[in-house]
């Protein structure tokens, strides 16, 4: 039964992700990326990670992409020719090399011991019993407290940096 | 409950809620015009039907038969898509709001909510945060300076006030210990949260008005400076869809205020659904009242108020509530 939802969602995620780099109008690219976020959110729901699924929509689709659109509209970014029409051999080769590397990494990760092998204490039964949101909250304030606090300091530094850059004139 | 019965009940609930929502949207336009004309000592719509009661239907028919104009320089795809993007979030957000107690019907117990998901409140915020796309994209696709300015203002405004709105309900979450709206209503069986969270309620109400782009926060469509803002180029049903989305959003935030702070469907003597609708319309009346009373903010005032007043106030409210909950 899960396949009935997983396959369309995965296809949607792949298709919209491809559109992000294939479309020529930056606004359309941004909208395609919103579509990708939705497909990913659906995949999180299938994994019973409701909290992550909704936060994905609120933060990425609802806030970050709106600001992206804001900037694209203000700057009025022109229609650029698609990358494969630009005569730029070195970059093309670099890109192809990176793609080969990524595919190899994925093949290693998915094909062998990593993906199916590791099983932690957080099985779906356990998560359902405690509650997805409650579990994330508890872990953030116990096991992952220090990384969590460090993240907040990094964000604070970014905010201060943005203020300094914006006020310099 | 057996599966087929479950689907039938679900479909009936969706149909009833959707139908009532559409009807309310239509008649809210009538209510708003009537209430505002009362404030301004005039009669308002009187010609179509007794006291203008058929006016929304006449307006609907008129809008449907108007010529649909698409500007030549517009981005056609997004121009056509944008009103739908505004309308869909406005209508699907009602799915998690409980409008009554559990009732027994034909030997089945039926919840008076379309879907009681355990992240109900987050779902609502997620859906609400998408409403801005319809406005921003409509403003951009029209290829019109006024429309673009309206769209950009709306994006900045909605993101700023969404933040305070989200923080203002954290106090409620701490008191009810759940994100499910059914449970939040359940937690208010003793006292309504407006008594325990008066500041939270005030911040929520202000942000709700800003989120629905209503006066005094109607900068995205400020008539006197931007003509009509983001929907200046829209006509016919596409314009009507923006209009419907605005009123549907108004109903949703009013329902949310009712559920989070005013005890939801709880109340003595009368049936729960009646209580729910009464509180809902009380909040909506408050919105109309505010629109008739207050002048529009200036853009810098709006931003300063959101970031320098509402946000710190919401954070202080969270700290105080947390201390209260910890010491209890």
| Residue range(s) defining the domain that contains residue B156 | 68-327
Closest residue in A to B135 (Cα) is: A66
Quick one: pLDDT band at residue A78, thresholds 50, 70, 90? low
**Residue B28 within any structural domain of the chain:** no
| Residue range(s) defining the domain that contains residue A58 | 1-81
**Residue B141 within any structural domain of the chain:** yes
Residues A132 and A75 in one domain: no
For residue B310, what is the enclosing H or E element?
none
**pLDDT computed for residue A13 by the predictor:** 92
How far is it, in rounded angstroms, from Cα A71 to Cα B56?
39
User: Coil, strand or helix: which one is B105?
Assistant: strand
A32 touches chain B (CB under 8 A): no
Residue B125 tokens, joined: 């915020």
Q: What is the pLDDT of residues B163-174, one digit of tens each?
A: 888 888 888 888
**Residue B312 within any structural domain of the chain:** yes
Residues A77 and A134 in one domain: no
A34 interaction partners in chain B (CB closer than 8 Å): 133
**pLDDT computed for residue A102 by the predictor:** 92
Indicate if the pLDDT at residue A151 is higher than 70: yes
Rounded average pLDDT over A60-89: 74
A69 interaction partners in chain B (CB closer than 8 Å): 133, 136-137, 140, 155
- Name the residue facing A70 among B117, B130, B152 (closest C-beta): B152
| CA distance, residue B237 to nearest chain A CA (Å) | 24
| B129 contacts A61? CB cut-off 8 A | yes
Residues A4 and A76 in one domain: yes
A73 touches chain B (CB under 8 A): yes
The total number of structural domains that make up chain A = 2
Indicate if the pLDDT at residue A121 is higher than 80: no
| CA distance, residue A90 to nearest chain B CA (Å) | 35
Boundary (domain end) residue, out of A24, A57, A81: A81
Quick one: pLDDT band at residue A118, thresholds 50, 70, 90? low
A26 touches chain B (CB under 8 A): no
Percent of chain A predicted with pLDDT > 90: 23
Residues A75 and A136 in one domain: no
Quick one: pLDDT band at residue B222, thresholds 50, 70, 90? low
Quick one: pLDDT band at residue A158, thresholds 50, 70, 90? very high
**Residue A48 within any structural domain of the chain:** yes
User: Coil, strand or helix: which one is B76?
Assistant: helix
R_g of chain B computed on alpha carbons: 20
Give the range among A158-162, B26-30, B269-273 with minimum mean pLDDT.
B269-273
Residues A2 and A71 in one domain: yes
Helices (H) and strands (E) in chain B, counts: 14, 2
Per the model's pLDDT, the better-predicted residue between A115 and A23 turns out to be A23
User: Coil, strand or helix: which one is B296?
Assistant: coil
SS3 per-residue string spanning chain A: CHHHHHHHHHHHHHHHHHHHHHCCCHHHHHHHHHHHHHHHHHHHHHCCCHHHHHHHHHHHHHHHHHHHHHHHHHHCCCCCCCHHHCCCHHHHHHHHHHHHHHHHHHHHHHHCCHHHHCCCCCCHHHHHHHCHHHHHHHHHHCCCHHHHHHHHHHHHHHHHHHHHHHHCC
Chains A and B form CB pairs within 8 A to the count of 68
Q: What is the domain-level CATH number for residue A57?
A: 1.20.120.1200
**Residue A98 within any structural domain of the chain:** no
Indicate if the pLDDT at residue B181 is higher than 70: yes
Block residue for tokens 């400076």: B225
- Name the residue facing B125 among A58, A70, A132 (closest C-beta): A58
**Residue B267 within any structural domain of the chain:** yes
Per the model's pLDDT, the better-predicted residue between A126 and A5 turns out to be A5
Boundary (domain end) residue, out of A53, A81, A109: A81
Question: Is the pTM above the cut of 0.90?
Answer: no
The total number of structural domains that make up chain B = 1
**Residue A119 within any structural domain of the chain:** no
**Residue A142 within any structural domain of the chain:** yes
User: Coil, strand or helix: which one is B110?
Assistant: strand
Residues A75 and A137 in one domain: no
Residues A1 and A75 in one domain: yes
**Residue A73 within any structural domain of the chain:** yes
Q: Supply the mean pLDDT for chain B.
A: 84
**Residue B59 within any structural domain of the chain:** no
Percent of chain B predicted with pLDDT > 70: 96
Q: Which residues of B touch A (CB under 8 A)?
A: 75, 78, 117-119, 122-123, 125-126, 128-130, 132-133, 136-137, 140, 148, 151-152, 155-156, 158-159, 162, 179
């Amino acid at each position: 039964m899960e396949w009935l939802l997983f396959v369309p969602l995965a296809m949607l995620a792949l298709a919209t992700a491809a559109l992000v780099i294939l479309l020529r109008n930056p606004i359309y690219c941004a909208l395609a990326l919103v579509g990708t976020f939705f497909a990913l959110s659906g995949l999180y729901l299938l994994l019973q990670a409701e909290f992550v699924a909704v936060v994905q929509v609120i933060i990425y689709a609802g806030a970050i992409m709106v600001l992206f659109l804001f900037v694209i509209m203000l700057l009025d970014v022109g229609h650029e020719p698609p990358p494969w029409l630009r005569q730029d051999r070195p970059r093309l080769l670099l890109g192809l090399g990176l793609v080969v590397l990524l595919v190899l990494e994925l093949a290693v990760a998915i094909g062998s011991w990593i993906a199916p092998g590791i099983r932690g204490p957080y099985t779906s039964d356990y998560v359902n019993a405690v509650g997805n949101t409650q579990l994330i909250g508890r872990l953030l304030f116990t096991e992952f407290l220090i990384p969590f606090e460090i993240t907040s300091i990094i964000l604070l530094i970014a905010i201060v940096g943005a203020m300094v850059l914006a006020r310099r004139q | 409950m057996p599966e087929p019965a479950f689907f039938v009940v679900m479909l009936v609930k969706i149909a009833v809620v959707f139908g009532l929502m559409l009807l309310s949207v239509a008649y809210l336009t009538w209510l708003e015009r009537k209430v505002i004309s009362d404030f301004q000592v005039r009669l308002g719509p009187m010609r179509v039907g007794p006291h203008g009661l058929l006016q929304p239907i006449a307006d609907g028919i008129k809008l449907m038969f108007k010529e649909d104009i698409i500007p030549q320089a517009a981005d056609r795809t997004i121009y056509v898509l944008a009103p739908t993007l505004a309308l869909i979030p406005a209508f699907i957000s009602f799915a998690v709001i409980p409008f009554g107690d559990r009732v027994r019907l034909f030997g089945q117990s039926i919840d008076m909510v379309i879907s009681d998901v355990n992240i109900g409140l987050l779902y609502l915020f997620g859906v609400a945060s998408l409403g801005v796309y319809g406005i921003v994209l409509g403003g951009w696709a029209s290829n019109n300076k006024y429309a673009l300015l309206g769209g950009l203002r709306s994006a900045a405004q909605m993101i700023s006030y969404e933040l305070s709105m989200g923080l203002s309900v954290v106090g409620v979450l701490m008191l009810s210990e759940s994100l499910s709206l059914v449970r939040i209503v359940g937690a208010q069986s003793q006292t309504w949260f407006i008594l325990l969270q008066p500041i939270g309620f005030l911040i929520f109400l202000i942000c709700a008005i800003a989120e629905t782009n209503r006066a005094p926060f109607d900068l995205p469509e400020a008539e006197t400076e931007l003509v009509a803002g983001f929907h200046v180029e829209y006509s016919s049903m596409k314009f009507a869809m923006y209009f419907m989305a605005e009123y549907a959003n108004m109903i949703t935030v009013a329902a949310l205020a009712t559920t989070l702070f005013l005890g939801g469907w709880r109340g003595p003597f009368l049936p729960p659904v009646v209580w729910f609708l009464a509180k809902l319309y009380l909040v909506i009346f408050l919105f109309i009242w505010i629109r008739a009373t207050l002048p529009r903010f200036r853009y810098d005032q709006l931003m300063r108020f959101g970031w320098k007043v509402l946000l710190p106030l919401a954070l202080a409210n969270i700290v105080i509530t947390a201390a209260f909950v910890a010491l209890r």
